[in-house]
Chains A and B, each alone.
Chain A
Amino acid sequence: MSPVVSEPDTTHAQGPLAPAEVLGSEAFGAVYQEHSQAIYYLALRYLGDPERAQDVTHDVFLKAWRHLGSYRHEAAWKTWLYRIAINHCRNVVGSWSARNLVSNADEAVWEGAEAPTDSPLRVLEIKELGERIRSTLDHLSEEYRLLLLLVADERLSYEEIGELTGQSADAVRGKLHRARKAFTHHFKASA
């Protein structure tokens, strides 16, 4: 019997453990410790609802546990978990978007818009930041919202974001350019 891992080993969270190893060891705890905050944050800002974000985070890790057999060993844990989380969030959105989300703002308007980069994005106090972001993201389409949240995770490359959202890295770059403009506009307007 292999010894029980007594200390967090975050190298496991990057992917070298096979599913069978994870099931029988403490490594799943390391995976949770390493990635739960990113998953919760994505769900919180994507859905704009703390209670649903808690549900999603719980469900994502439970699904991961149940479906370790489908985990592709060559994929990083973070992208696998993000994929589960995105699918789950989309299902949640699909079931209640009509009541709770402002969806599909007109994206074309940002194509030729001038980038409002003459002044920085500013908040007076950190305690207002969350509300400003929630309000700003409410004005963005689900796609822009998701792209910005993913690119804010500096551990993800454009290629990985493209893989997660079903498009090329170049398409991600182009859409991010417009998404940044939209975010900047609405963030400044929310001051």
Chain B
Amino acid sequence: MNSEGHTFRNGKEEHLRREESVRSSPAPLEFDTPEQVLRRDREEVAVPTEVARRLEASLGQEPVRRVSWWRRWLGLGRGKGE
């Protein structure tokens, strides 16, 4: 294999790699205001399910009526005796 052909092929592969890299790289995100930045960030944030579980447990300790609806709301299924 001559070195010229080898260099050409390497150069072509490099070019293709760069093109692929450009295609697969997401476009930068741009925002006009801080509020837009924060709103976009908020979309990425979910409340950990642990919070709902802890809240359900806490409400179960409260001296109030039915809390079994929490299980349905939080997708935890039915509790004992329901």
Contacts and interface: CB of A to CB of B under 8 A. Distances in A.
User: Dominant SS at the A interface?
Assistant: helix
A85 to B, nearest CB: 13
Interface stretch (A75-83, A96-104, A146-154, A166-174): A146-154
A41 to B, nearest CB: 5
A123 interface: yes
Chain A interface residue bracket vs B? 35 or more
B44 A58 contact: no
B42 to A, nearest CB: 5
Contacts of A124: 26, 28-29
B42 A152 contact: yes
Interface of B: 26, 28-42, 44-48, 50-52, 54-55, 58-59, 62, 64-66, 69-70, 72-74
B29 A148 contact: no
A44 B45 contact: yes
A16 interface: no
A32 B49 CA distance: 12
Contacts of B42: 37-38, 41, 152
A172 to B, nearest CB: 13
Contacts of B58: 58, 62
B46 A180 contact: no
A4 interface: yes
A187 B35 CA distance: 12
Given A33-B73, A54-B48, A125-B26, 5 more contacts: A40-B51, A62-B55, A122-B31, A126-B29, A152-B34
A37 B30 contact: no
A66 B59 CA distance: 9
Given A65-B59, A154-B39, A121 B51 contact: no
A43 to B, nearest CB: 10
Interface stretch (A21-29, A86-94, A105-113): A21-29
Contact of A26 (B44, B51, B55, B73): B73
Contacts of B72: 26, 29
Contact of A130 (B29, B41, B65, B70): B41
Given A62-B59, A180-B34, A129 B41 contact: yes
